[in-house]
Amino acid sequence: MPMERYQFMSNVWKDGIFDNKVVFCTGGAGTICSTQVRAMVALGANACIIGRNTEKTENMAKDIATARPGAKVIGIGAIDVRKPELLQQAAERCAKELGSLDFCIAGAAGNFLAPLDQISPNAMKSVIDIDVLGSYNTVKATLPYLIESAARHKTDGKTQPPNGTGGRILFVSATLHYAGTPLQSHVSVAKAGVDAMAVSVAIEQGPKGVTSNIIAPGPIADTEGMARLSKSENRDRAYKSVPSGRFGTVKEIADATVYLFSDAGNYVNGETLVVDGGAWRTAGYGNGFEYPDFLLSGESVTGVAGGKKSKL
């Protein structure tokens, strides 16, 4: 059953602004990324979402397609972003079957909670490989298509683009490394790398018409990340660490995505758009583990789905 439009984007956007455009998204079956893609599809785009779990990815693609009658959404599962050849094949299929690849969302990520002294070298490597190398592999696979799209959809800021916008990449990052976050050293390192990569892409590919930006979500309600990485009994208390007094919604991440990909975001390049209600500025520690007591105890993280796995 189709979602109500206001559940996944605000009503301020004009229908059809992404007509005949195609968005490619890694991590596309996830709570946040699927909503970003859904908003783009509702506004005219077709899409190709990438994921590890084939059934989940294909089912999500079908669900996203309900956002607009006639929408085409491909779900490609069994894709590990750490394997560049698989991403290259997926990008090629996307462009071939849907006609182009105009926008890219690099959203695949890995995370769990653990203090640094309990993170194995393999666990650290896994997170960095998924986040940093996965984002790099995504850029490498999609960049030729994004450059072509940017050339077809040039904007000068003075006249309305006759064929809309294109040639834009968006990295989904985090705010964890801004002030430092306990139990998240591995992801902080990885996301700092993603942020640096996004800026490099902006500097090097900007002269070709490609824009590269970052969205950094804060605590977003009803997401897989919130469910896995915080204790449910402490979430009400965690609101107090957010200046806006609440957790965010996936709709608000989707709205930021539409802005950066739309005509309104033409001159935004190499920037980070933080969507967190001001939460990172309080350096709040709202996942239910008391600082510094928990770290001094030497205990392992328990009581959350996203704890350290022994196999890592």
Instruction: Report pLDDT digits (tens) over 108-152.
Output: 998 888 999 999 999 999 999 999 999 999 999 999 999 999 999
Percent of the chain with pLDDT over 70: 88
Domain assignment of residue 4, yes or no: no
Q: Is the pLDDT at 307 greater than 70, yes or no?
A: no
Domain assignment of residue 24, yes or no: yes
Q: What is the 3-state secondary structure (H, E, C) of the chain?
A: CCCCHHHCCCCCCCCCCCCCCEEEEECCCCHHHHHHHHHHHHCCCEEEEECCCHHHHHHHHHHHHHHCCCCCEEEECCCCCCCHHHHHHHHHHHHHHHCCCCEEEECCCCCCECCHHHCCHHHHHHHHHHHHHHHHHHHHHHHHHHHHHHHHCCCCCCCCCCCCCCCEEEEECCCHHHHCCCCCHHHHHHHHHHHHHHHHHHHHHHHHCCEEEEEEECCECCCHHHHHHCCHHHHHHHHHHCCCCCCECHHHHHHHHHHHHCHHHCCCCCCEEEECCCHHHHCCCCCCCCCCHHHHHCCCCCCCCCECCCCC
10 annotated active-site = no
- State the pLDDT at residue 143: 98
Q: Is the pLDDT at 309 greater than 80, yes or no?
A: no
The pLDDT-based confidence of 288 (bands split at 50, 70, 90) is: low
Q: Is the pLDDT at 296 greater than 90, yes or no?
A: no
Q: Is the pLDDT at 286 greater than 80, yes or no?
A: no
Lowest-confidence segment of 67-71, 118-122, 201-205, 226-230 by average pLDDT: 226-230
Number of domains in the chain: 1
Domain assignment of residue 135, yes or no: yes
Residue 166: domain span: 18-297
pTM passes above 0.85: yes
191 annotated active-site = yes
Q: Which of 34, 100, 126, 173 is catalytic?
A: 173
Q: Which of 191, 241, 251, 308 is catalytic?
A: 191
Domain assignment of residue 56, yes or no: yes
Q: Is the pLDDT at 243 greater than 50, yes or no?
A: yes
- State the pLDDT at residue 312: 43
- State the pLDDT at residue 311: 47
Domain assignment of residue 312, yes or no: no
Q: Is the pLDDT at 276 greater than 60, yes or no?
A: yes
- State the pLDDT at residue 106: 98
The pLDDT-based confidence of 178 (bands split at 50, 70, 90) is: very high
- State the pLDDT at residue 283: 65
User: Over the chain, what is the mean pLDDT?
Assistant: 90
Instruction: Report pLDDT digits (tens) over 53-95.
Output: 999 999 999 999 999 999 999 999 999 999 999 999 999 999 9
Q: Is the pLDDT at 196 greater than 70, yes or no?
A: yes
Domain assignment of residue 10, yes or no: no
Domain assignment of residue 306, yes or no: no
Domain assignment of residue 259, yes or no: yes
Lowest-confidence segment of 23-27, 35-39, 109-113 by average pLDDT: 109-113
CATH number at residue 263: 3.40.50.720
